[in-house]
Amino acid sequence: MTNNSTAYDEYHCLKDLNSFAIFYNCYLQQAIDELKKDYPNITLIYGDYYNAFLWLLQNPVSLGFDNNSLQKACCGIGGEYNYDVQRQCGDPGVPVCIDPSTHISWDGVHLTQNAYSWITRWLIDDMLPKLDCQL
């Protein structure tokens, strides 16, 4: 976290961490492609969690999330993100939001059930066609 506002993107995510994730995923996908060449009889696919999460941030309202709580933890206390490493979810006096389904973040680290559900749907829709299954 930094006070430098230019370090964040439009979703209030750190640009440097996003760049690292994109870099890592690029090399991971290259490694998968190499494995496919070495083992042509296997089906190996990539679950694109990064773009699934980005899609969630790009479509929060249509997915039922509160646009004013996108980066705020449902269960937490303090600060812009409703998260304090010293007083975490489950600690005495740390409140829980009224409707977790309207939040993406459960506790500042984990997503809510609703967020995981949407990401899972996105991943399945993205990966299932790549499995080339005959239904």
pLDDT digits 0-9 by tens, 69-89? 889 999 999 888 999 999 999
Whether the Cβ atoms of residue 49 and residue 57 lie closer than 8 Å to each other: no
For the ranges 19-23, 39-43, 66-70, the maximum mean pLDDT occurs at 19-23
> What was the pLDDT predicted at 15?
93
Q: How far apart are CA 78 and CA 91, in angstroms?
A: 13
Q: Please give the C-alpha separations between residue 34 and each of 18, 30, 44, 119, in angstroms, as whole numbers.
A: 24, 6, 11, 27
77, 94 Cβ separation under 8 angstroms: yes
Give the residue from 11, 9, 22 showing the smallest Cα distance to 71: 11
